[in-house]
Homo-oligomer: A and B are copies of this chain.
């Protein structure tokens, strides 16, 4: 019988957004609900145009900016309408909280890997408290032995140092570690530069996989893929 010490892979590290949950769909739903609520509160304009404008503002200012909706309302000629801004903020936040859930197969996969004795970790870019909030709301926080987030670490994907710090904290070597992520540049290129195996979680069919060892289209396939890598 095979024991853990003979396995090539000892640790599996995960990205959060887009890997453990469908962040793209969640953001789309949240934006859609926010715009609906703002129109209901009196914002005047074509829904499609308002949505496109909001998407542009979020892309331009980044997701941690605080005044997306103020800018949007101003852009549609209703500057100072705090009631409309607040309607958008409430709908957006409520959606981001109530609709935040792991990919349907995430808990089964993490449970299976944990039972098999793998060290489980998170390597994520973002603000530490915000990323931990997601893990807590996803009810996944307790699965992970190490959680490395760029803000606390001072290094950011694709910097291989972030990956190496996480492996050091987990006391595993790169050749015994797999990174699972959805962003080819950040997750895959970064992990490969750190000497890890890398599994691309690719729902959309990206062209440049940045040297991923294996591509999966859903988390459920991960346990078999790890066996195949070994």
Interface residues of A (CB under 8 A from B): 69-70, 80, 82-83, 85-87, 89-90, 94, 97, 128-133, 135-137, 141, 147, 149, 152
The answer to whether B152 touches A85, judged by C-beta atoms less than 8 angstroms apart, is no
Residues of B contacting A147 in the complex (Cβ-Cβ under 8 angstroms): 82-83
Are the CB atoms of B80 and A152 closer together than 8 Å? yes
A42 to B215, alpha carbons, bound, how many Å?
37
Nearest 10 pairs of A and B residues by beta carbon = A86-B132, A82-B128, A86-B133, A82-B132, A86-B129, A85-B129, A83-B132, A82-B129, A90-B136, A86-B136
A82's nearest neighbour on chain B, judged by CB, is B128
Main secondary structure of the interface of A (DSSP, over half): helix
Partner of A87, one of B82, B89, B136, B152: B136
Q: Is the CB of B89 within 8 A of A133?
A: yes
Bound CA span A97–B91, Å: 12
Known pairs A82-B132, A82-B147, A85-B132. 20 more at Cβ < 8 A? A80-B152, A82-B128, A82-B129, A82-B131, A82-B152, A83-B132, A83-B136, A83-B141, A85-B128, A85-B129, A86-B129, A86-B130, A86-B132, A86-B133, A86-B135, A89-B129, A89-B133, A90-B133, A90-B136, A94-B97
Query: Can you offer 22 A-B residue contacts whose CB atoms are under 8 A?
Result: A80-B152, A82-B129, A82-B131, A82-B149, A82-B152, A83-B132, A83-B135, A83-B136, A83-B141, A83-B147, A85-B128, A85-B129, A85-B132, A86-B128, A86-B133, A87-B132, A89-B129, A89-B133, A90-B133, A90-B136, A90-B137, A94-B97
